[in-house]
Structure 1
């Protein structure tokens, strides 16, 4: 009986921890979109989320750790939860298209987080930025993922075998990055969802075997 009660208490504590961490990271994303990385402080995140600065410090320790956690939430955690289930078992071309479709759905589902990621992408251009290492890793992993899908498609016949997989992968990623830049520049006027929909159609037409 005691073991069961202790287990229930641990589960409740874990749920509270996850809930507060999610609220803090959501608040951090909103602040980054509104004022950039410079506007982000542990105190501002705690206030926005309805918690104390002390809780933010306990959860993340520093602004750098908070930013790295935010990058991971918007890249690795998102990919594991939303992209991997969609692409599993798909052909090379379909896996690439499904990944891009999930990006498009994420724009509609969590626009603040996607815009925050764009801010962090540009912040990483600064060699001294704490976001540079995780962003460089994310960018490289995404490029490899796109290239792997193209190579798989060339092997399974869904993508033309005469293409240069690395060059095509860079072209796809450049298109995605361009959309992110325009959306960040004009968040209220630029239709990023429509732009990505068009890019998906172009990728399918360009790479697919007719």
Structure 2
């Protein structure tokens, strides 16, 4: 006359009943637990920095938001600056996987450049606090936190290099003007993306980022294509 729970309790000698879900769930490895804790801490850091900036954010706040102690955050990263470098590095790695695939079937030349413009602005629109934190940190690296300026110098330099590679491919394919100065064009494309995103953060209600995305793609195509 036992019910299901009572039968389980009796059969296990008084042990607490285990659900099928709990019994079937494998124990996570140390590497998996570490990856999860890092993901939660970096996500917490992005949320806080997006809300209140780098200066007002503390390791203790990050630990509390992530569900860990300040000591664990400090042990993992050593300083707030190191944590920010890890956060920016993660953002770049995630974006690069989307925007610059290594697949042989991936677009090349001008189509690739337009696709990156599209992906960049879509990512900014959808990423929420993560991308806002990125731009807050970029702005603060000019003054308050010069320690991470080198991180953004490297990041923007890497973006320019990728654009330059595709522009040279486009030049060889005859998709852009022969006299195009590749480094300048790459810098202007990156400046367009950065400027639009900064302005949208300052006054999001004054512009439609979806419409701007389409306009930006057309502007890049028009500026780069050779005269007909």
Q: Could you say which structure has the higher helix fraction?
A: 1
Give the paired residue count.
201
> Aligned-pair distance for 1:38?
0.6
Larger Cα Rg: Structure 1 or Structure 2? 2
Q: Distance in 2 between matches of 1:87 and 1:95?
A: 12
Which stretch has the larger CA shift, 99-108 or 128-137? 99-108
Which residue does the alignment assign to 2:158?
A: 141
Q: Give ranges in structure 1 of 5+ residues lacking alignment.
A: 1-7
> Of residues 182, 192, 208 in structure 2, which corresponds to 1:165?
182
Which stretch has the larger CA shift, 134-143 or 49-58? 49-58
Matched, 1:85 2:101: yes
Q: Give ranges in structure 2 of 5+ residues lacking alignment.
A: 1-25
4+ residue runs of structure 1 moved beyond 4 angstroms?
Answer: 187-190
Pairwise CA RMSD: 2.2
Q: Distance in 1 between matches of 2:49 and 2:216?
A: 27
If the length of structure 2 is used for normalisation, what is the TM-score?
0.79
> Aligned-pair distance for 1:127?
8.0
> Aligned-pair distance for 1:150?
1.2
Matched, 1:28 2:45: yes
Which stretch has the larger CA shift, 135-144 or 80-89? 80-89
> Aligned-pair distance for 1:185?
1.3
Q: Distance in 2 between matches of 1:191 and 1:49?
A: 33
Matched, 1:62 2:76: no
If the length of structure 1 is used for normalisation, what is the TM-score?
0.85
> Aligned-pair distance for 1:93?
0.6
Matched, 1:183 2:200: yes
Which residue does the alignment assign to 2:121?
A: 104
For residues 129-166 of structure 1, give each alpha carbon's deviation from its aligned partner in whole angstroms, at most 9, with x where no partner exists: 22101111111111222122112101112222232222
Summarize the Cα distance change of 1:49–1:188 in structure 2 as closer, same or farther, 3 Å threshold: farther
Q: Counterpart of 1:174 in 2: which secondary structure?
A: helix
